[in-house]
């Protein structure tokens, strides 16, 4: 069951930028070494978000071709703390203007562009993308 407190209205048609006015973060608590540990970590962080009433959406995040359970939340402090607690390399943050960047320890380490909806084939070409529960694929793209 999906715990959907974040409105899905910011998702736009293929090729369009996500239209939002709130910051959000995409993060994972998977380490990729042990499927059972990753499942336990994911279940634990989901339980904590529900208990603390942290708004979130389930995503499948793909990083360098490796899929893992991920979360999107508007609570950046929670995402940062979870990433630190679970020794994550970084989180993806989108600011209120739609600019996305990777962040480590609260510091931007790489600008990514804006988040856009693309076809599954186009997403898989990038090796780094997110998929929502409806099968919509999202990537970050630099804009001119």
Query: What is the largest distance, in Å, between two alpha-carbon atoms of the chain?
Result: 43
Global pTM value = 0.81
The pLDDT value recorded for residue 133 is 80
The pLDDT value recorded for residue 55 is 93
The pLDDT value recorded for residue 6 is 38
Q: Would strands 91-94 and 56-63 be described as parallel, antiparallel, or unpaired?
A: unpaired
Q: Is a pLDDT exceeding 60 seen at residue 120? A: yes
Q: Which two tokens stand for residue 109?
A: 């380490």
More reliable by pLDDT, 118 or 36:
36
Mean pLDDT for the chain? 81
Q: What is the pLDDT of residues 49-105, one digit of tens each?
A: 999 999 999 999 888 888 899 999 999 999 999 999 999 989 999 888 878 899 988
| pLDDT band with cut points at 50, 70 and 90 for residue 131 | confident
Q: Are 25 and 93 in contact (CB under 8 A)?
A: yes
Domain boundaries, the chain: 17-141
The pLDDT value recorded for residue 143 is 60
Cα–Cα distance, 17 to 41 (Å, whole number): 31
Cα–Cα distance, 100 to 91 (Å, whole number): 10
Nearest to 69 by CA among 44, 96, 103: 44
The backbone region for 87, taken as left when phi is positive above 0, alpha when psi lies in -120 to 50, beta otherwise, is: left
Residue 43 has phi, psi (to 5 degrees) of -60, -40
Q: Is a pLDDT exceeding 70 seen at residue 11? A: no
Q: Is a pLDDT exceeding 60 seen at residue 8? A: no
Q: Who's near 139: CB < 8 A, 6+ residues apart?
A: 115, 116, 118, 122, 123, 126, 128, 129, 130
More reliable by pLDDT, 21 or 99:
99
Region 96-115: mean pLDDT is 85
């Amino acid at each position: 069951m999906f715990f959907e407190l974040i409105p899905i209205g910011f998702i736009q048609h293929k090729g369009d930028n996500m239209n939002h006015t709130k910051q959000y973060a995409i993060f994972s608590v998977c380490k990729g070494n042990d499927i059972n540990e990753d499942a336990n970590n994911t279940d634990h962080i989901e339980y904590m978000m529900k208990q603390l009433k942290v708004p979130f959406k389930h995503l499948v995040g793909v990083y360098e071709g490796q899929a893992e359970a991920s979360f999107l939340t508007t609570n950046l402090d929670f995402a940062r703390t979870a990433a630190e607690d679970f020794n994550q390399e970084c989180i993806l943050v989108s600011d209120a203007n739609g600019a996305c960047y990777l962040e480590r320890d609260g510091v931007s380490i790489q600008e990514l562009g804006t988040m856009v909806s693309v076809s599954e084939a186009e997403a898989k070409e990038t090796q780094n993308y997110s998929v929502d529960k409806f099968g919509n694929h999202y990537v970050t793209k630099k804009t001119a």
